[in-house]
Amino acid sequence: MQTRFDHLIIGAATLEQGKTFVKEKLGVDIPYGGVHENMGTHNRLMQLGDEVYLEVIAVNPDIEPPEFPRWCGLDDPHVSHQLMEQPIFLTWVVSTNDIEKLLRRTTFDFGKSRLLSRGNLSWYFGLPDDGRLLAGGMLPYVIEWRTESHPSTNMVDAGCRFRGLEVHHPYPSWLRSVLESIGAADLVRIHPLQKNRPPFLVAHIDTPEGKKDLRSDVGVVARH
């Protein structure tokens, strides 16, 4: 079983809001991706180099909602209320070449493997029944692509490059043990927090305007 870093997810109330957010914070335009008919969402996408990409996702108001909660916590009132204020770096995703094996070997509930699609792309995705973010977004969703090459190779290259992800968590040993069970512990850097501090993510990205940090708690700020 092989586990790789796959992509970062920014949630937004609308795709236009998400586009503006990326333009303001990373200095680039993120193009439209497509519609997830079976999820009631749509997205914008751009590559971040080395088979990693950035996704902006939002509820699609032009199609019927699914009969189950949407992914990425988009139907969680707390999350949707926050997204009305501004887009949020919600979570991350890892890819595997055997999602069923991965889901069997961990004691954490990463959801059930579900076959999904967008246009001519299809993939298996570990989807919780309630659509929740896993550990508040600190643990990744899991995907298995059904493509010959990684889909990011066909996405627009706006000159941004992913340089690493940090997870700051009050229970680092627990987080590491779960990530080890899916072969993902070495994909991120884990930092301990005081027990009363909420966890957060920090993604390091090189952009045409310099180095940026995409944070799940405060948005994007430049590194000096």
> What's the pLDDT at 10?
98
In this predicted model, what pLDDT tens digit does every residue of 96-150 receive, in sequence order?
Answer: 999 999 999 998 999 999 999 888 899 999 999 999 999 999 999 999 999 989 9
> What's the pLDDT at 1?
77
Classified as helix, coil or strand, 99 is helix
Classified as helix, coil or strand, 196 is coil
CA distance 40 to 54: 19
In this predicted model, what pLDDT tens digit does every residue of 23-61 receive, in sequence order?
Answer: 999 999 999 999 999 999 999 999 999 999 999 999 999
In this predicted model, what pLDDT tens digit does every residue of 78-110 receive, in sequence order?
Answer: 999 999 999 999 999 999 999 999 999 998 999
Q: Is the pLDDT reported for residue 219 higher than 60?
A: no
Q: Is the pLDDT reported for residue 161 higher than 50?
A: yes
- Fold of the domain built from segment(s) 3-154: 2,3-Dihydroxybiphenyl 1,2-Dioxygenase; domain 1 (3.10.180)
Average pLDDT of the residues in 54-83: 96
∠ CA 120-89-169, nearest 5°, is 125
Which residues, in sequence order, are CB contacts of 173 under 8 Å at separation 6+? Answer: none
Cα–Cα distances in angstroms (integers) from residue 89 to residues 44, 54, 176, in the given order: 14, 10, 21
How is the chain split into domains, by residue range? Answer: 3-154, 161-222
